[in-house]
Amino acid sequence: MTKNQMLISIVLVLVSLSYSVKAQQSTERDRLRMAQTHERGGDLRNAARLYQELFAATPSSDAYFQGVVRTLGGLQQFAALLPLVESRAQAYPDVNTAILAGTLNAKIGNTASAEKWWSEAIALSDDDETTNVLIGAEQTLLLMNAQALKSYKAARAINGAPLVYGDEISQLYAATGDLKGAAREALAIYASDGEIIRAQRRLSVLLSYENGQEILATQLNALSGDGQEILRLRQWFYKQTKNWRSALEVTEKLDEQSQPRGQELLLFADGARMDNQFDIAIAAYGMIMKEGPDQRYRMSAAYGSARALEQKLRASSSITAAEARAIIEKYDEIIKQYSQHPLAAEALYQSAILEDDVIGNMDESRQRLMRLQNQWRGTTASIDGALRLADIYFAMGKDKDAESILQSVVAGPTNVSADRRDRAKLRLADIHFWNGKLDSARTLYEPLAATTGSVASNDALDHLLLINLAQEDSVAVVSIAKAEGLMVRRLYREAAALFSQASKSASQGELRDRAAINAARAYIDLRDDAAAEPLLESIINGIPETIFGDRALSLKADIQIRRGDKKGALLTLDSLLVNYPRSILVPTIRDRIRVLRGDA
């Protein structure tokens, strides 16, 4: 072969090799794009196959390796992924790869190998803080809580800050059963940053553990001093654990250290009243009225005390006329002493309600409500009073006066809330309904029913559904409508008779049960539980088909409670929760059950 021929051969070989390499690279890029397309489309199985083929051909490629990790990990094929990761970690020692090898071993139950690889990662990083944190995070996810606690403690020791990683360490203490350590950690952080919300969040977790309350109480009592930060945390703890008497004692100390005096006690008293802790609320209000230097807080406490006493009596039993008069005297004292303050309007309204509801003195109630209209026009209390005054006028047979009051609310100033205006419109529509003018009532109900979120929308929709049933049984619907009007006029016996008649004659089950539940309510208003019970039982026997079963069960429980049959009432309320888990009554029913069981 001549020299020229040899050169030509070499050139041809090089050109051939070049084309071969380019073809191989082109094929590799195509396969990578295909793998990425499969991965983005959620086809992890085909993506994993392609990534593994690419990685086997080029084991030095980090992109191919990460593709294998993502796809096999996504498929949870940890046993298949582990040898590839371990091989990679041995060939190319790396902290993250060693951590991954440890995690994969732990996931398939090889704890000893997992510890070995995590130790290898720490050695590769020269015992770096971040590496210990990364390992601790993996161990936490794997529920290896003791090992995770050790890792985070090691990271803290390297960092040098005594409270760094406090959240993680506190949670891991609790997870490993060391509630005392968890409490100490959380309290130490609170002592450092003073962020009570975060402290409450950390400590509330401990209360869910057995003995958590006892351990946390011991740790809180061990804290020295009575500074505001410590008092606030103790106050929170006692409220969470329903130790209201101790919470009040702590609040009294807290109030002594705060400015203005009385504010802490008032906030606590209002909260206790909202939580139905009426005796505690009354005691706290009393402290303000006795020792509070600020007139504003004394006034609010006087009103709160009267409201708490009223709520207590209403919750525990049927409030008597004598008890109502005693509360009205408290309201009248507020009206007299603070005649120019808006709380006087609230006191005037509440006293009018007691006069009407409990004492039965409609004239006195009407006079108080009219006084409220004249002196506090445009206030929330006066609008509520106007709505109540309209009902009193209906009961007195003064329909024109009632309509005039309702029209004034509808046409009132813009500061009247939409809900109250809608309630007035609803009552105006009801007038047509009671009088059997179903088409006129429908016209007024429809826009109210369409107002989502309005307090009047449900009632408007309910009446629209009832009006629609008139197409099949107009006699029963008109009777029910007329009886509802008699209820508002407080002609309960006539209403009960008409409802009962409609229940017997109704051709549809829904109309029959609706009339029966309303008849039962009328008899209950007449204090005739014996007449109400058979009507309620007729509805209850139709459970689960009837839509009125939840209300019937609730009314039956009321009767049982009045008779002192708490055990029977609990069974009835439990039946309500079982048969009507989505009823709007459920939150209230759960509270009633707690009270009956003595848990509240």
Structure tokens that stand for 95 in this block: 């902290």
Q: What gap in Å lies between CA 388 and CA 423, rounded to an integer?
A: 11
Residue 404, in any domain of the structure: yes
User: Which CATH number fits the domain that encloses residue 375?
Assistant: 1.25.40.10
- C-alpha dist (Å) from residue 249 to 244, 252, 273, 358: 9, 5, 16, 35
Residue 32, in any domain of the structure: no
The answer to whether 512 touches 542, Cβ cutoff 8 Å, is no
pLDDT of residue 59: 87
Q: How far is CA 340 from the centre of its chain?
A: 38
174-183: burial string, b at 16+ Cβ within 10 Å, e else: bbeebbebbb
pLDDT of residue 22: 45
- C-alpha dist (Å) from residue 555 to 511, 551, 580, 593: 19, 6, 15, 14
Residue 529, in any domain of the structure: no
160 in the Ramachandran plot: left (φ > 0), alpha (ψ -120 to 50) or beta?
A: left
Q: What gap in Å lies between CA 379 and CA 372, rounded to an integer?
A: 9
Q: What gap in Å lies between CA 107 and CA 79, rounded to an integer?
A: 9
Structure tokens that stand for 239 in this block: 């409220």
DSSP secondary structure code for residue 320 in this structure? P
Give me the amino acid identity at 578.
V
pLDDT tens per residue, range 219-252 = 988 887 788 889 999 999 999 999 999 999 999 9
* Domains of the chain: total: 1
pLDDT tens per residue, range 278-329 = 999 999 999 998 876 778 888 999 999 999 999 998 877 678 999 999 999 9
Structure tokens that stand for 300 in this block: 């609010």
Residue range(s) defining the domain that contains residue 337:
318-416
Radius of gyration of the chain measured on its C-alpha atoms: 37
Residue 89, in any domain of the structure: no
Residue 255, in any domain of the structure: no
pLDDT of residue 17: 46
pLDDT tens per residue, range 4-35 = 556 555 545 454 544 444 444 557 777 788 87
Give pLDDT tens digits along the chain (600 positions): 566 556 555 545 454 544 444 444 557 777 788 878 888 888 888 888 888 888 888 888 888 888 888 988 888 999 999 999 999 999 999 999 999 999 999 999 999 999 999 999 999 999 999 999 999 999 999 999 999 999 999 999 999 999 999 999 999 999 999 999 999 999 999 888 888 899 999 899 889 888 899 999 999 888 877 888 899 999 999 999 999 999 999 999 999 988 888 899 999 999 999 998 999 999 999 999 887 677 888 899 999 999 999 999 887 767 899 999 999 999 999 999 988 889 999 999 999 999 999 999 999 999 999 999 999 988 899 999 999 999 999 999 999 999 999 999 998 876 667 889 999 999 999 999 999 999 999 999 999 999 887 888 999 999 999 999 998 899 999 999 999 999 999 999 999 999 999 999 998 899 999 999 999 999 999 999 999 999 999 999 999 899 999 999 999 999 999 898 999 999 999 999 999 999 989 998 998 898 888 765
Residue 350, in any domain of the structure: yes
pLDDT of residue 48: 84
SS3 content of the chain, % helix, strand, coil (to 5): 80, 0, 20
Q: What gap in Å lies between CA 204 and CA 117, rounded to an integer?
A: 36
Residue 582, in any domain of the structure: no
pLDDT of residue 314: 83
490 in the Ramachandran plot: left (φ > 0), alpha (ψ -120 to 50) or beta?
A: left
Q: What gap in Å lies between CA 455 and CA 437, rounded to an integer?
A: 23
Q: What gap in Å lies between CA 179 and CA 404, rounded to an integer?
A: 66
DSSP letter string over 255-281?
Answer: HHTSSSTTHHHHHHHHHHHHTT-HHHH
Q: Tokens 């055990």 map to which residue? A: 567
C-alpha torsion sign, points 495, 501, 504, 508 = negative
Taking the model in full, what pTM does it have? 0.73
The answer to whether 441 touches 482, Cβ cutoff 8 Å, is no
In the three-class reduction of DSSP (H, G, I as helix; E, B as strand; rest coil), residue 13 is classed as: helix
pLDDT of residue 9: 58
Residues 6+ apart with CB under 8 A from 568: 560
Secondary structure string (H, E, C) spanning 427-466: HHHHHHHHCCCHHHHHHHHHHHHCCCCCCCHHHHHHHHHH
DSSP letter string over 354-402?
Answer: HIIIII--HHHHHHHHHHHHHHSTTSHHHHHHHHHHHHHHHHTT-HHHH
Residue 365, in any domain of the structure: yes
pLDDT of residue 20: 45
Q: What gap in Å lies between CA 503 and CA 174, rounded to an integer?
A: 60
Give me the amino acid identity at 160.
G
End-to-end CA distance of the chain: 107
272 in the Ramachandran plot: left (φ > 0), alpha (ψ -120 to 50) or beta?
A: alpha
